[in-house]
Structure 1
Amino acid sequence: MAENFRTFVIGASSGGYRALKKILCDIPTGLNAAFLVVLHSAFNSTNSYASILKKNVDLTVVDAENGMQIEVDTIYFAKPDHHLFISNNKILLSKGPRENLFRPSIDVLFRSAAVAYQNRCIGILLTGRLNDGTNGLDAIQKCGGLTVIENPETAEFSGMPLFAHKTIAIDYVVNPENMAEVIRKIVKEEFPEDKNVPINIVRENDIAMRIKSQISLQDKLGKKVAMSCATYGGPLWKMKNSNPVRYRCHVGHAFTQEALLKSQDASLEEALWVSIRTLEEKKTLLNNMIIEYENKGMKTLAESYNNKIEEVSEHINSIKSALQLND
């Protein structure tokens, strides 16, 4: 691999496969560049996007495997339920904690590529909801690389590229049909100016890759806040110098504010469902006790449990109302 090669890292979510197909089919060989892709998918997905796309793409398309050497003219797709890292020009896969509710996470790939390749790295963020990828683009920019987003006005789902556009100064805003042309343009240009890699980006990348202990680094990276991780339940740290605002727990889960709110909603809903189930079981037990006491002629005691059933029913109805459920 020549010294002047580029690494393009691409992230997409909802609607991403269609955008990727449009872009990758137009990229020619011979650009002295490698391409690594994270496309959000279900953890148990059996789709191999590499096997589907390789029929229509001139470049070599493969599913990323741990330890693979990164080669030019090759597209590497992240495996479902595995983070994709770059280190020493090799691919590393991990089932570490989710970031922004996803594994693989776009931020994880972008951040590791920023540290590994600095001004030889180009981040491309495509269609999707929420805001995974923005912090990764910010890391690429701070390490000297270039940032590209799909035009939010024409993206199938504008959430991810629009959030990035409003958060950082993007270098290129491009429609998918013009993306290959911009890629060819970039590889012909001089490299951007060299920058020192910020130590906080290196440290956070080490945490995600499990090279360094989370507990020993959290205080260096952020300030502990009075909130808990919606996934793990432990304390959260608000990251310093993070764009956008983000939180991490010492286990390694990471969230933007929007992702944390969504995770809290999911945890709260799960807790409410557990409460309903427990109360329904309690109601059944009370009914059985009432029948038993009535059969024994203990009507006063049975009546006292009838009152408790009314209380339990009120609690159940209140929780169902909070969940906006119908009977």
Structure 2
Amino acid sequence: MSAEPSRSTPTAVLAVGGSAGSLTPLLALVRGLPPQFPAAVLVTVHLGDSQNSRLPEILSRRSRLPAAWARDGEPLRPARVYVAPPGFHLVAAADSVSLSRGPRVNRHRPSVDVLFASMASTIGPAGVAVVLSGALDDGAVGVALVAAAGGEVLVEDPDDAEFSGMPLAALHAVTAATTSRADDIARAVDQAVARALDRAAKPTPSPTTAEEADTMAHHLAIDYLAQTESRLTRMSCPECGGSLAQIDLDQISYFRCHIGHHYGPQTLAAAQADASEAKIWSAVAGLEEEAALQRYLYETVPHASPGTPHLQVAEQLAQRADQLRELAHAWTPLVPDPERDATVLRTTAP
């Protein structure tokens, strides 16, 4: 690799996102990139908060480009791979990257949507977004913003992907996206980046707003209805309980609370199913605690409520708790969660 690309600021940025099943196509992609690749490569996969991932090491071993965990404020350089570290959103700026511990987006931190949305805001037409294998719909809103900003979207062929949820959601959000099989994805990316460099040389006004993309990674001001929000809903955020607003884009809608948690429609359904089960267990705990207090009043404070049958009330509450506990044990979500059931992304592979 020549020294010059490492010193210059890239005029194009390649952002890659994936989840379960994305390691194989990701390795195929980076393995096919030339050592003097003219764009910076930003990678976000769903690692959660695990500190055991060796993903940058694996990418460096299989690629002609150096890969490392991204560092907050690190300058962007072409022919380098910046990987979102566990527990942090990776945010793209015009000439650097930043890391954010902001609210989870689509139940993930790092989130693919955050990376793509930040690139749409700061890179615009010079950005290329790639969606690889994964369940549910993280990345779909992000690619819609990338396309609206004049960037290009590539998607792993859903028939080729181990998990087709994320590719299918991306194609629904950007119908003009290009699809590619894993064994040909590096060539498709190389061509897309060449087109991005041409667009960067002839910038055009972006039809999307920086505000819309920025809210993916930054705190929202508390307001009844923000300018970018379409309507309030009767639903609450599964993570914090705040009210959810709906945001309508051309091809896709998504939801967010004022704290900053964002959900694609499929991810919201899966998160609500988890929240419903948690509420049932919370109700079991509440009944058992109430029964315990009634027994305490019967045994220790008999004068607390004269004439109240504390022991009888305690037994009735305990019976209700047992019935609800049986229901909780037999609980089967009606909405499947392929992301939870998917094979965990293996980032310790040789």
State the TM bucket, normalised to the shorter chain.
0.7 to 0.9
C-alpha distance after superposition, 1:50-89 (max 9, x if no partner) = 1232122110111100011010110000011111111231
CA displacement, residues 10-49 of structure 1 (integer Å, 9 cap, x when unaligned): 0000112222122212212122111100010121333131
Which of 85, 89, 113 in structure 2 is aligned with 1:79? 85
- The equivalent residue for 1:38 is 44
Structure 2 residue corresponding to 1:94, chosen from 100, 117, 135? 100
Write the distance in 1 (CA, Å) between the matches of 2:105 and 2:72: 20
> Mean Cα displacement is larger for which, 36-45 or 59-68?
36-45
How far residue 183 of structure 1 moved from its aligned partner, in angstroms, is 1.9
Between the aligned partners of 1:180 and 1:11, the Cα distance in structure 2 is 14
- Within 5 Å, which residues of 2 pair with 1:296-307? 305-306=311-312
1:256 to 261, 264, 268: 264
Using the alignment, how far apart are the partners of 1:188 and 1:56 within structure 2? 23
Q: Percent identity?
A: 26
| Paired residues of 2:117 and 2:214 also in contact (CA < 8 A) | no
Equivalent residue for 1:232, pick from 229, 240, 246? 240
1:120 aligns with 2:126: yes
Report what 1:277 is aligned to. 285
Give TM-score scaled by structure 1 length.
0.86
Shift of 1:261: 2.1
SS at match of 1:163: helix
Partner of 1:244: 252
Q: Secondary structure at the match of 1:54?
A: helix
What pairs up with 1:1-327 in 2 under 5 angstroms? 5-189=11-195, 191-192=198-199, 194-199=203-208, 201-210=209-218, 213-215=220-222, 218-222=225-229, 223-241=231-249, 243-284=251-292, 305-306=311-312, 308-322=314-328, 324=330
C-alpha distance in structure 2 between counterparts of 1:153 and 1:77, whole Å: 26
Distance apart, 1:136 and its partner CA:
0.8
Shift of 1:323: 5.1
Helix, strand or coil for the counterpart of 1:215?
coil
Aligned partners of 2:243 and 2:291: how far apart in 1?
A: 36
Q: 1:4 to 1:18 in 2, by over 3 A?
A: closer
Count of aligned pairs between the two proteins: 317
**Secondary structure at the counterpart of residue 280 of structure 1:** helix
Larger radius of gyration: 1
Give the C-alpha shift of residue 172 in structure 1: 1.4
Q: Which has the higher contact order (CA 8 A, sep 6+)?
A: 2
CA distance in 2, matches of 1:158, 1:245: 20
- Residues in 1 aligned to 2:262 and 2:22: alpha-carbon distance in whole angstroms: 22
SS of alignment partner, residue 67 of structure 1: coil
SS in 2 for 1:122: strand
Provide the residue aligned with 2:343 in structure 1: none
Deviation at 1:308, TM superposition (A): 4.6
1:286 Cα deviation after fit: 5.3
TM-score, structure 2 length as denominator?
Answer: 0.81
For structure 2, which runs of at least 5 residues remain unmatched after alignment? 333-350
1:93 alignment partner, SS class: strand
Cα separation, 1, equivalents of 2:77 and 2:224: 33
Q: Distance in 2 between matches of 1:217 and 1:282?
A: 37
Q: CA deviation at 1:137?
A: 0.8
